[in-house]
Amino acid sequence: MAAVDAAAGGTSKCPRYANVELLADKLAFNLPNFKVSKIVLQAEEWTLAIENQWPVLPSPIIWRELVDRGGMSSLIGGAKDFQEYAKTYYDQESSFTTHQLMGFVEDNKRYKRQDIELALSYKPSRPLPKIVTILGADSHCAHRLLMLLTLRKEVKAENRISLRLFTEDPAKAAGLDDVKFQVEDSACPSIQSVSVEYTLTSAVKDASLIVVLDVVPRQHFHRSSSYQTANSSFAVLEPRESWLSRRFVFLHRLGVHIAQHCSADVKVLVAGSLRLFEKAELVAAPINFDVQALFTACSGKLATRNIVGLVRPLEWRLKATIAKKLGVRCCDLVDLIVWGNIDHRFHVDISRVRIYRRHGKDDAIIGPSWFNLDAEPLIWDAEWLKEDFVREAVEKMKAPARYQAAYCHASAIASFIDQWLFGKVEREEMLESLVLISDGCYGVPRGLAFSFPVTMNPSGCFAAIEDIPMDAEKQTAINMCIKDVLEDWAVVNPVLLENYLEEINRFGKAIPSAPLSDEVTLEVDPEAKA
């Protein structure tokens, strides 16, 4: 017997289709070369006849496939024609009553709905791009960060980025429109879209990651000097208490918007400013204070590990100083720890630092790419390590050229985004430093923003390392940093500082005073000012 491929199309509520379907199934079950294809639609899906004003026949359509499915075919006809076809060629006919067919119709409608629901449940949804909001997008660091984000070679839809640019300064919003057009014209495969937002609500709504740059800079008040030349003037810095109060107002408002308009798994990265590298360490963004303010505003809405402060720019500069001393590349130095208040007072811990690929001519012990050595024993100049290392690193960070460090700062932000948002973890780097909300380890008060060593896994999650050995000198340095963080936070809540000092005095641990004074004036070069 020749093979027969029959196709039937009809609606799920048609009794004639139910009759034809049962007869065709009977033929397919009893005849080895008889195959049936069914096209079943719901009644509301048959719109083609209505659009073309065709007469709708109360019968399904049956045809015979001559070659392959969708190829040449021969029309058999309607329900009666197919029954005549089955009776003539195969001596088979349908013997169901109308009442039975109406019951089959209800079954067909129910099964069709179940098929649609099942198909929708298995249908893969289109991956949505990750929304990255940059607050303070008018800065030079933000422009370089955009360049690095556009250079990513991601083609997977789930790893594409939808950028939102926001600035508080209306005068600079027009400049962001130009930046938006430049990014769009670059045709970058990793960028899904770019938009300029003018309100905090639209900027943070449904964001996956929010990058907070230096959005509330410290102000300078210029005044002329009577005992200097006519073109000389002084710039008096805004009092730190006043500056921190202004920052808290903005960050608290930002935190409220995040809590209201973002999901609970949104990630907030406080990246600070590059001013630490421009002879202006006294106006560097207080990262610890910013993290603390955002955590206070979002308390209960976001997990504590979803609000972090970036330490990597400072960490890279410190690594570069050690790498130069040892004659290795900065990228071959790993696991440096920075404790404390990043923009003000911090402690550098090199007890875990390791060196890879040390192949200098004076190196006695070398090995393959996986081989590493502890860095601290290799630094023969102990006096330099104790007294001059951090000072030398900080002096190099104070670049005389304006915005010279913007690329380094932007590179640190972009690399951390790759780790946190996309799970790209360096194999050799076992730990790094982040400003987190303390859970009480290392004597840091619970709920205080502090720089800790952390480890990160490929899923983008990280955890604070709680087994770093502590000696008396290191613990004293950490206590000094804790006091420095609490002195900044005393602008908002002085009770924490009072309680901490009372506890320290009770146990007889002396805490030195803060290293920098808030009463600062900087002389301004008149040509630079112009």
In tens digits, the chain (530 residues) has pLDDT values of 445 566 666 666 677 777 888 888 888 888 888 888 877 777 667 667 677 777 766 677 787 876 665 556 777 877 778 888 888 888 888 777 777 778 777 777 777 777 777 776 665 555 677 899 999 888 888 888 988 888 887 667 778 889 999 987 777 777 888 888 888 888 788 888 899 998 899 999 989 999 998 888 877 776 655 555 545 555 677 888 888 899 999 999 999 999 999 988 899 999 987 655 444 445 567 899 999 999 999 877 888 889 999 999 888 888 888 888 888 888 888 889 999 988 788 888 888 888 887 655 555 566 666 677 778 778 777 777 776 777 777 776 665 455 567 788 889 999 999 889 887 877 667 888 999 999 888 888 888 999 999 988 777 788 888 888 888 888 888 888 999 899 889 999 888 888 888 877 776 554 443 333 333 222 333 333 33
With 0-12 CB in 10 A as exposed, 13-18 as middle and 19+ as buried, what is 74? exposed
Q: pTM of the prediction?
A: 0.69
Q: What is the pLDDT of residue 516?
A: 32
How many whole angstroms separate alpha carbon 418 and alpha carbon 493?
35
pLDDT value of residue 167? 84
Domain boundary assignment for the chain: 4-122, 208-507
| Nearest in space to 435 (alpha carbons), one of 319, 297, 288 | 288
Domain at 4-122: CATH code:
3.40.30.10
Spell out the residues 6+ positions from residue 329 whose beta carbon is closer than 8 angstroms to its own.
323, 357
Q: How far apart are CA 192 and CA 159, in angstroms?
A: 10
CA-derived radius of gyration, the chain: 35
Token digits for 411?
Answer: 């590179």
**Range list of H helices, 126-223:** 140-150, 173-185, 200-204
Q: Could you list the beta-strand ranges (E) of 129-257.
A: 130-135, 161-166, 191-197, 209-213, 220-224, 233-237
HSE on the CB side for 238, CA within 13 Å? 15
Question: How far apart (Å, rounded) are the C-alpha atoms in residues 112 and 73?
Answer: 26
Q: Where are the beta strands (DSSP E) in 401-508?
A: 432-437, 449-456, 462-464
| Secondary structure E strands in 266-344 | 267-272, 307-310, 333-334, 337-341
At residue 1, the pLDDT reads 43
441 in Cβ contact with 173 (< 8 Å): no
Question: Which CATH number, 3.40.50.620, 3.30.360.10, 3.40.190.290, 3.90.110.10, labels domain 208-507?
Answer: 3.90.110.10
